[in-house]
Structure 1
Amino acid sequence: MSTESTKRSVVVGVFVLLGIIIFVAGVFVLGGQQKRFTKSIRLIAIFKDVGGLKAGNNVWFSGVKVGTVKRVTINSNAQVEVDMDVEQSSQQFIRKDATAAISSDGLIGNKIVVIAGGTNSHPEVEEGDRLQTQAALSSDQILETLQENNNNLLRVTNDFKELVGNLRKGKGTVGAVLTDSMVADNFKRAMVNLERASVNTAKITGSVSQFASRLNTPGTLANELVSDTAIFRRLSRSAGRLENAATSADVAVGNLRRTTDNFNRASEKLNNNNTPLGVLLTDQETANNLRTTLRNLNTGSALLNEDLKAAQSNFLLRGFFKKKAKADAKRSADSTAAKQ
């Protein structure tokens, strides 16, 4: 064999060997990514919509890749059954009450299965277990939500634009405050008045505080009125006496009213021409007759006195009057002696 043929064979052998090495390395790399050379368990999840999930997509748990999707099939209930190969080393962390949901690797990346949740009170999953599922929002639903949010933001922006325009034109109360100088002056005066009211309120508060401190100062009348029970009892007794006095005054007023009523009734009777006193007080003829009668009585009394004096001078009655005079003189002397 010539030297040139030998060199060619060597070069071909080297290239073939490199190709085999690259192939084996690729197999190991792809197998490692697909978890083909690690022990795994089979878990099942049934979804109503997988949103484009296919065999070979990744399975994540707590942000860590733990397996791949082995098979995606549609069962008789128009539901999608997803078979997953999960690393056996992650089995101890996934519990039977864990849930599976469809998500995406990034905003528009490949679909993935995300396993989440699970509590330590439940045992770990086993071969062939079926996980609970959560319905996930599809990309269309997300876009619809974003579109609705954009529309709402546009309406808010338009409303804000209109509000700012009205404020610049002086419409509304706030616009009038911002543009009308008179309204602004009134607002300033209102603020000044409010400040004065605040100052007055502070003064009143200070006065109340001083009054409260005086109430708490021992020895003062206010403190004694508030804290001294003896003074309180005295005030209570005084109040009781005042109440009794008021009751007595009410009784006196009642008596005075009754007296006034009686006096009014008596006045009515005196003014009544049908009663004797009324006739005497109001009838002029009766009054004249009464005056005449009184004059006659006075005249008769004077004549009677004269007759009595004349009788004393009569010799028949002179002895009687002398005895009476002696008896009166004796009584007077006896009374004078008794006094001495």
Structure 2
Amino acid sequence: MISSNKFLLLIVLYCFQTVCAQDSCVIFPDGFGRYLGQVFLEQKDITKEPFYTEEVAQKWNILSDVAKTHNVSAPEYTYYKTYFLTSNIEPDVYDLYLVFKSKKDTVAIEIEASKNKELWTLRKIESDFFNLINPRKNSEQFVSNNWITDDQKFYPNLNQTNAFSYSKDKKDDCFPDPLSFIKEYAKQLFSSSTVDTSTTIVTLDEYKETYIPSMLEVLEKAKIKSPGDLEQITKIEKQVKDTPEEFYKSYFLEGIHRISNYVNENQFSEENIDHIEFRIQNFRNELLGKGKILLEANIILAKNNQKEGIRCKALWYHNTWKIIYQQANTFGITTDN
């Protein structure tokens, strides 16, 4: 499977002007995924598709044959949604899971695609189908079905002959490139007097709506999974239920206060930001609702020939980014001499 840990699969795409006023934005690729998924489920003649090349057709048809064997086709299966992962490490590439549902189960295929202006290019097709599973109620993962026994991956040629615009009249929705948001949040960390009232972080009411319900679900499962820790789990659960405002302060705001105090005591400023790494995805989001879009960012600081990082997470909430988690301590970075 294509590794998410290395942030290999991503895209930053053109901005749909009626949706975003920014020069750049990150696309939510459901429109593209829906189109490609329908082509696959309906077993359309791939030679008639705009992304056709002989090589792409060969790889695609192998998966299509396996789909026929396992009856993964319309009308038994319908397109459900597209899960995606993207980052600024390779900012024109996406890892996409196209998910199909039937009355009995849910399966997915994984592709890697890139976007250049209005053209998509298929870069890689994984050589198997995947199951969508929920190890926690609110955290999706994909596990290989092993319907194809070898490890071969399908690599289409990367050229303009298999680049295509899947629709002239429909574009994918997008949300702002998060770099400016992350920089604004970092600026407020360096000024500890403003971070508590910042619009970049979730309010107590927003925290109750987004984080608290998922936390209670996780704690309920933890009682069964870790009976030896029942007393401690019950104590945390009581705090979350009875005094969510205290949990918000002790668990969420405390992390922000500690990191803000640290950077101020050590006289870090915006000038010490070496670079920012981020990835965006709508699956494997622990403690958040299914399909919600989560931004994970590392703010790398450099000072006195040393580097360390600030790690935080933000939720795409009501058409804006909101910090929902702040790691309380910086993490060290080892550099090669």
TM range (shorter): under 0.3
TM-score (norm 1): 0.20
Pair member with larger Rg:
1
TM-score (norm 2): 0.20
* Greater strand share, structure number: 2
